Structure formats: C-alpha cells, structure tokens
Structure 1
Amino acid sequence: MNYYDIRYMLSAPEIRLMVAELDGVLIASGYARIEKGRHYLKHTHHAYLGFMYVVPEHRGKGVNRLIIEALKNWAIEQNINELRLDVYYDNQPAIAAYEKAGFIKHLIEMRMGLTIPAATRPSLKGMSPLLLVSDLDRSIGFYTGVLGFSVQFRYEDFYAGIGRDGYSIHLKQTAQPPAADREYKRENEHVDITFSVAAVGDLYAGLAASSVDVVQPLREMPYGREFYISDPDGYIIAFLEEF
C-alpha cells in the first residue's frame, strides 16, 4: 500500500475509494478519481479507475464487477458520463472482465526500450538515503548495536554515515518528526528503507526477541516474505526476502 496515499484518498472530494470485505477481511479494492479531459475530447471530465485488485482466491466471483458498479454509480452522482482505466495488453483475464462490465478498447499505448551505449551511461557506485534524526548518538547506537552497521564517518555533532555489506545510510540530526507523521507511517505501512535479505525468518526471530519495535510481523506476500520494524525516530524499515 506504499504507492497510494490512503489517507488523502479517503478525504479527497474528487476520489471515491471502495473495498469489498468478507468476514472482516478485505478481499478487493478500487477507486474512481475525477480527472479533467483533454481539450480535444467530447467530455470535459471523466472518472479514472485505479487500485483495482481482487485477492486470487476470490477472482471470478463477480467481486470486481460490484466494485466497478459502485464506482460507476458514484461517478454518475458527480455528473460524470465516462469511465476510463488502464490495463496491460497481455492481461487477458482482466480485459475480459472489464469488457464484460461494459468497457471497450480505446487506445493502445506503445513503447520501445532503448539501450544507452555503455560509454555514455553513468555508472552508479552506490546510494545513501538520508534520515533526519532527533538524536544522532541514539540513532547511531540503534543501527550499530541492533542492525550491525558500523560508523563510516562523523561530521561534527550533527551528521554521520553508517554502513554494512557495501550499503550506507546518512544520518542528520534535526528536529524530531511530529508524532502524527510517525503514526501515519505506521497506519499506512509507509516504508522508508527496504533491505533485501536472505533467511528473513531467522532475522525476524532474532529481532522480534529483542526490544525492537516490530511494526509489521513476518508475513508472506506475492513477491516474498517481509517484516517491518521502526527505528527510534519512527522511520519504517522493511526486510524482504524475495521469492
């Protein structure tokens, strides 16, 4: 859910977010967002559908159609007379479902990947995310003592670099992030850093047994197994073992 700002979507007047629930568990989602039409089109505005998803075990049961129908009714209430959405050309099950719901193919977007010659392509040597922290010494202690990083450099009393296994993070002491921001991250699974790891189960067992703040327990997702923890300033750190 990191890609979508759920809090904004729930309050924005131009967006309607719908979900389907079964026995207290979310099984499907979708939103309609009113957008301004191109000047050369007949309509001035249309509703764009996105976040369309149904968990695999409930596909083919008409759940997606119910979501679309609810979004369509909302769009009509807003005096919108056209719905639009995007779907990959090779996703035939989705295309068939949307056509059954009344959509028709309209425009094919085409692409071509280009290879930049090696001589002109810049070479990336690494990447160092910068985290604003409220107490530099406390943060250094967390990342070195709990996660096994080492201090690479320190500049005066407000800036430091830490690293492990060829990766580094920069820390800069500043005002502490507001509590509302930290709570928002926790509620919406906003991840600040993702580490790809091996043996994620063993890593989780070790950290969960310590005093680390576990935000999301170990879980299995379509792309791999992951869990989240929080650092002293509320930054959400994900550990992912991809399938």
Structure 2
Amino acid sequence: MIQRVTSRSAALTLTAAALVMTGCANISETQKGTAAGAGIGAAAGAVLSSATGGKAGTGAVIGGALGAVAGNIWSKRQEERRIAMEQATRGTGVEVTRTPDNQLKLNIPNDVSFDVNSSAIKPPMRSVLDHFADTLRGDANARVQVVGHTDSTGSNAVNDPLSLDRAQSVRDYLAARGVAPARIQTEGRGEHQPIADNSTAEGRAKNRRVEIFLREPSQG
C-alpha cells in the first residue's frame, strides 16, 4: 500500500512539474513540448513500476525518457513554417493551425484542392504545396502525413479509393519538388471522419478536404 501511494505521488509530482514548465513564459516551445512529453511518460513509468513491483522513482525516470523521445517538438523552425504558410495561404480558405500534439496542420478545402470525382491537383493547391515544399528543404527530421476525405455522396467503393488517390497525388507533387517520398505517409479515409453535417451542402463542402500534417519527432 505504501509503495502504491509513493508511486502515485512521484507520478503526480513529475506531471505537475511538467505542466508548470509548459506554462512558463521564459522557456522555448521546444522545451515546452519535451517537458510535457516527459511528464506524461514519467507518470506512466511510475504506474508501470508500481504495477510490476519495481521502484517508483526508477519507473518514473524511464517513463520520462520515453515520453520525451515519443513526443513531437514545436521548434523555432515549426513556428516559422506556421507563419510562412499562414501568409502564403491568406485568403485561400486554407486553415493553418498547430495541433495539441505539436503538429503543423493544413486543412485544404475541396474548392482549393480537387474537382469533384477527380484526384488531379487544382492550380490554387499547387501554389500552397510549392510553399509547403519550400519549408521542408534542409530538414531531414520532419515527417509529413497527408489524409484525404470525402463527403457522404456516393458509395464507400468510390469514396475510399478516391480519398487515397488524392492523398497520393499530394505526395507525388511534393516528391517532384524535392521532398523524399519515404518521409510522406498517405491515408484515404473516405467519408468516415466528417467535420460537419453531411445533410447540408455547406457541411458536405467542409467534409471534402485534404489534411496535411507536419511533425518534428523529438530526438530525446
């Protein structure tokens, strides 16, 4: 019983410390991301140590290291990319955001990206992807995920492969501009992850989209 309480206390203490660090104004975004990952990992390590009969302190240290390695960092370069992409896409309808897990996300609506039932990239999206590819040059650590989505019009037999074809078209376009294909993961999710109501024309338009995620994995 005493050992379990000690493990829980260690986990809470380390997690609280990580949260305090992520809230400090004087540390960098990279340090904030690493601190949060380390705190979550430390808590998991302490719980694991208690469950397996080990020492809470040792488990927390191991978990902290794993949390820091497994997380993404929000570096100065990532912030510069976010600003550059916001400027490059202003007025296009493309949304540029930072996700809670420190990824740069581009949400590209269908009227910018693809015509109906087509996987051919439209000219407005080419400009967006050109700027995006420029931000990746010289950064071998960055990883890209491209996810295609459709609305609920049509069957899964049509929508699923179409959404994947669109994601792969984006990958091929970026590869032609110097981004290594091995760094780009593609997925097609058809109509299965809507962000709006498919019963309205406005909702269906929002669901027809391509999402691009860019992350920098923590190197520990």
Same fold judged by TM-score > 0.5?
no
- Taking structure 2 as the reference length, the TM-score comes to 0.28
Q: Which has the higher helix share?
A: 2
Identify the structure with the greater strand proportion: 1
Question: Which structure has the larger Rg?
Answer: 1
